[in-house]
Chains A and B, each alone.
Chain A
């Protein structure tokens, strides 16, 4: 069975400071990993994905994530937060045969940006 743990339900940073959103996963096989962002009253937008190529993945809006197999982690980072980054972020793991559609969602991290 696979699972995803987002270690922080809320993260608050000041504008212009680095962002770190933490995600740990468990999976029996080599998984695909995704980060999605959801702005208030909007759908989910794909930020980036890891699919067994380069372990450092660059996404949209300056976000990136590093896949660390030894630590079973896929943390999301951004060097400098912007007010528009305030949103809910979901870490998602996908593996073949890992459930009804192979997708497991984390419970989400609410990112707050202080002016």
Chain B
């Protein structure tokens, strides 16, 4: 089925470990983004990309890196995990920002715990 696929669904990390959260979409969407969801906070933007080779920071980028080598994939890297990064992470994609009529398609999320 077409959509946004996130892996893994669950992950436990020790403080200081690194890992990559994977995100892939098969809808040829130019726009992809990463959000974190914390209780009572809604979703906050971490990083986003408007196309292959182009990324930019969102509201809460510290501690995270991204790259966009292909249209389909947009991995999120935690270089040195901290307990404050315990959260649920969502990847989303959309047609380009010029397509204001389009909503976003979200993945099912990665629940990350840092101990």
Contacts and interface: CB of A to CB of B under 8 A. Distances in A.
Interface string B76-112: 0000000000000010100001001101111111010
Nearest to B98: A96
A90 B31 contact: no
B75 to A, nearest CB: 18
Interface string A90-114: 1000101001111101111000000
Given A51-B101, A100-B59, A102-B97, A44 B42 contact: no
B106 A45 contact: yes
A80 interface: no
Given A44-B106, A45-B106, A107-B40, A101 B101 contact: no
Interface of A is mostly: loop
Contacts, number: 60
B97 A43 contact: no
Nearest to B46: A100
B2 interface: no
- Number of contact residues on A: which range applies? 20 to 34
Most A-side CB within 10 Å, residue of B42, B44, B111: B42
A45 B1 CA distance: 15
Contacts of B58: 100-101
B12 interface: no
B115 interface: no
B57 interface: yes
A43 B108 contact: yes
A9 B100 contact: no
Interface of B: 4, 31, 33, 40-45, 48, 56-59, 90, 92, 97, 100-101, 103-109, 111
Interface of A: 9, 32, 34, 36, 41-46, 49, 51, 90, 94, 96, 99-103, 105-108
Closest 3 CB pairs of A and B: A105-B42, A44-B106, A43-B108
